[in-house]
Chains A and B, each alone.
Chain A
Amino acid sequence: MKKSVFFGALAASALVAGAASAQTLAEVQDRGSLRCGVTTGLVGFAAPDANGEWEGFDVAVCRAVAAAVLGDGSAVEFIPTTGSTRFTALASGEIDMLARNTTWTFSRDVDLEFEFTGINYYDGQGFMVREDLGVTSATELDGATVCIQTGTTTELNLADYFRANGMSYEPVPIETNAEAQQQYLANACDVYTTDASGLAATRAAFEDAAAHIVLPEIISKEPLGPLVRHGDHAWGDVVRWSLNALIAAEELGITSANLEEMAAGTDNPEINRLLGTEGSLGEMLGLSADWAKNAIAVGGNYGEVFDANIGPDTAIGLSRGLNAQWTDGGLLYSPPFR
């Protein structure tokens, strides 16, 4: 349909109505690919490699949803968005879902009319400084120059935090993480602030990561998760439960190694329901019975995805922390598959 629009316009006639907005699932299935909004480049979360192949933690969520819906984890068009273009892209229907370390807030949910379909990373805003600056706490940052990404919640948190502590600062607003990195490395700002996970990812890309420290203060709650447009509940459910499937899979001990074996049928009825050998959960979502199996098959369960992209063994080296399963004292808690 898209291409017919292209030449239609050359003929000065550029309008072909598509399907109504409330049928994203059908649209994705018709198109045969998922349009997923990601960041323009944050190592570990979403960044294209030299071949243009996208990889990262957020990317894995997109791939899982694509696999659940289409049975193919590579049937995703990744659409890079900046902090300030992401909501527009989602609202205008340019993308089907947004997985761009986006914080779930009241106003984004209620006023901007988006539906957050869960939390894939519990984060908080932190500060990164050079070690030789001699700063050990964010309360010593009075008068500092702070690099910050515009159009994000971090911008508002920062203003609140410095105001509440009676400190002054000089904000240097920046559009993308890559530019922020440039400015910070050139010492055009003393501090770089964004989500702690983003700081870790950014620092991992530095030549001498050890020369930079993340200050202990976490000044906000930043529950990051994928989101879709309000009002299309069927689609919202698909994205929500695809994410939950990854989380539940870890809890239930399903890994990419034993997936096939488990999918053949186990004694645990919840595993059977999840992997589609029992019940009709897939049908209820309007997907195939093995939807969750497909989603897990792409990159493994939540824990595997985490370890592969941002875990302790990667350059980014984030520990699970709050993002451990509830059984391990973390906050990850998937509702039951029943």
Chain B
Amino acid sequence: MTAVTDHSQGDEGFRLSQLLYDTRYRSVTIQIIALLALIAGLGWLLNNAVSNLAAAGQDFNFGFLGSVAGYDINQRLIEYDSQMTHGRATLVGLLNTLLVAVLGCITCTVIGVIMGVLRLSPNWIVRQLSAVYVEAFRNVPVLLWIVLIMGVMIKVPPQPRAFRGDNPDATMSLWDSVAITNRGIYIPRPTYEAGSALVVGVFLASIVAIFAFRWFAKKRQEETGQILPVFWVGLGLFFVPAILTQLVMGSPIGLEYPELAGFNFSGGIHLRNSLIALWIALSLYTGAFVAENVRAGILSVSKGQTEAAASLGIRPNRIMNLVVLPQALRVIIPPMISNYLNLTKNSSLALAIGYMDLTGTLGNITRNQTGREMESVLLLMAIYLSLSLSISAVGNWYNNSVKLKER
């Protein structure tokens, strides 16, 4: 982009002023100055940090990660108690971050795709409702949605003790298997007894069989043009063998139902308010952005494509699947990656409602109890940074694999 001026003829040797006026040298000069400025700036910051730490009598080491944490964490995906180390607490927090990020990414995609398609629906009222949804969530800060939904979770559902007594104010839903309380939702937990390995094995095998059948059906279609009912066969394969095995083996996989015991429900899986509020808020918020991307993606496929497909006699739902979506996906996927990234980063707002994610453990309690501010915050940033970079790396890889191959 730099204009190349004609200096080559009549070379009179190097003069100092060429560093500034000669475009060949100027770029080098600018870069070296920039580099020196950067190094000087960083050096200055580091020097300040070192002298400040020295003045405060602190050092810079991550030894605190090995000392006893002393605090409890309510939601833990791996074994943890208050006698374990700060490092372990950090790991628990990281897993909680990942949990809500993965759950959120899945639901925001589902919500976003549905809402994006509905925004283009011929149905007026549906179109208006989805527009209201998108505008409401895009234009209000996600932190506000998180605390608002947390407020709903705390205030609206019944307390656990409302379930007590002979004639309770509240009852469990779904045939006494799910308890919705203002401390979270309790759902049944699967229990694995002898023989359950076989059921799981059969289930995995049937999944493999589904893929094999799809491959076979595709090959068959290409060879003979005959279309096999992939969906129904797949559905059958998904459920039937595993359920049969489960019945034949005498139900080795059981369900542990939540029960009211003492102050709270016990047994089952406890989905805490903080997790649910964060999950719902992040999904709905990011879903609004996804909806806009999906809409833009579908609109980007020109009407001629749909009409051409229709003129070939393809039915409407197949037009969507075979013609419109594959082309729309190329427009949809790149912003989706940044939506997933944003969702993951926004999960750090968990702090506001006490969900014990990475920010809640390392960035808040550990930072506070140990007083290692510099180390904790830097480590926190490093972990988030590597998380984001890996998400975008995976995203870019996928994007490259679906994008138009231009030669």
Q: Chain A: residues with CB nearer than 8 A to chain B?
A: 21, 83-84, 87-88, 91, 107-108, 111-113, 133, 141-145, 150-151, 155-156, 158-160, 163, 169-175, 182-183, 186-190, 230
Does B256 have its Cβ within 8 Å of any Cβ on chain A?
Answer: no
- Report the minimal beta-carbon distance from A303 to chain B, rounded to whole angstroms: 34
Chain B residues with CB under 8 Å of A155's CB are 71, 365, 369
Which residue of B has the minimal Cβ distance to A189? B183
A169 to B72, CA, bound (A): 9
A172 to B150, CA, bound (A): 13
A111 to B71, CA, bound (A): 18
A171 to B371, CA, bound (A): 22
- The interface on chain B, measured as residues whose beta carbon lies within 8 A of the other chain's beta carbons, has a size of 38
A170 and B154 contacting across the interface, CB-CB below 8 Å: no
Stretch among B8-16, B257-265, B284-292 lining the A interface: B257-265
A87 to B351, CA, bound (A): 18
Contact of B154 among A111, A150, A188 (CB under 8 A): A188
Interface residues of B in 361-389 (CB under 8 A from A): 364-365, 367-369, 371, 373
- Report the minimal beta-carbon distance from A203 to chain B, rounded to whole angstroms: 19
Q: How many A-B residue pairs have CB under 8 A?
A: 96
Assess A156 versus B183: contact at CB under 8 Å? Given A144-B263, A145-B263, A151-B364: no
A133 to B161, CA, bound (A): 9
Contact of A84 among B55, B57, B352, B367 (CB under 8 A): B367
- Report the minimal beta-carbon distance from A57 to chain B, rounded to whole angstroms: 23
B263 and A143 contacting across the interface, CB-CB below 8 Å: yes
Which residue of A has the minimal Cβ distance to B364? A84
Assess A159 versus B352: contact at CB under 8 Å? Given A143-B266, A186-B154, A188-B273: no
B73 and A171 contacting across the interface, CB-CB below 8 Å: yes
A159 and B70 contacting across the interface, CB-CB below 8 Å: yes
A214 to B58, CA, bound (A): 40
Does B298 have its Cβ within 8 Å of any Cβ on chain A?
Answer: no
Does B56 have its Cβ within 8 Å of any Cβ on chain A?
Answer: yes
The 8 A-B pairs at the shortest CB distance, nearest first, are namely A151-B368, A159-B82, A143-B262, A173-B354, A112-B371, A187-B159, A156-B70, A186-B154
A84 and B368 contacting across the interface, CB-CB below 8 Å: yes
Assess A188 versus B58: contact at CB under 8 Å? Given A151-B364, A171-B74: no
Chain B residues with CB under 8 Å of A150's CB are 354, 360, 364-365, 368
Chain A residues with CB under 8 Å of B371's CB are 87, 91, 107-108, 111-112
Which residue of B has the minimal Cβ distance to A159? B82
Does B356 have its Cβ within 8 Å of any Cβ on chain A?
Answer: yes
A107 to B12, CA, bound (A): 71
Does B155 have its Cβ within 8 Å of any Cβ on chain A?
Answer: yes
Chain B residues with CB under 8 Å of A142's CB are 262
Interface residues of B in 237-288 (CB under 8 A from A): 261-264, 266, 273-274
List 5 additional A-B contacts (Cβ < 8 Å) besides A151-B368, A182-B154.
Answer: A84-B367, A112-B371, A171-B73, A172-B274, A175-B352
Chain A residues with CB under 8 Å of B83's CB are 163
Does B182 have its Cβ within 8 Å of any Cβ on chain A?
Answer: yes
- Report the minimal beta-carbon distance from B374 to chain A, rounded to whole angstroms: 11
B354 and A174 contacting across the interface, CB-CB below 8 Å: yes
B264 and A183 contacting across the interface, CB-CB below 8 Å: no
A88 to B363, CA, bound (A): 13
Chain A residues with CB under 8 Å of B154's CB are 182-183, 186, 188
Which residue of B has the minimal Cβ distance to A173? B354
Chain B residues with CB under 8 Å of A175's CB are 351-352, 354
Chain A residues with CB under 8 Å of B72's CB are 158-159, 169, 171
A230 to B368, CA, bound (A): 18
Chain A residues with CB under 8 Å of B58's CB are 113
Chain A residues with CB under 8 Å of B55's CB are 21
- Report the minimal beta-carbon distance from A191 to chain B, rounded to whole angstroms: 9
Assess A173 versus B368: contact at CB under 8 Å? Given A113-B57, A150-B354: no
A158 to B73, CA, bound (A): 12
B183 and A188 contacting across the interface, CB-CB below 8 Å: yes
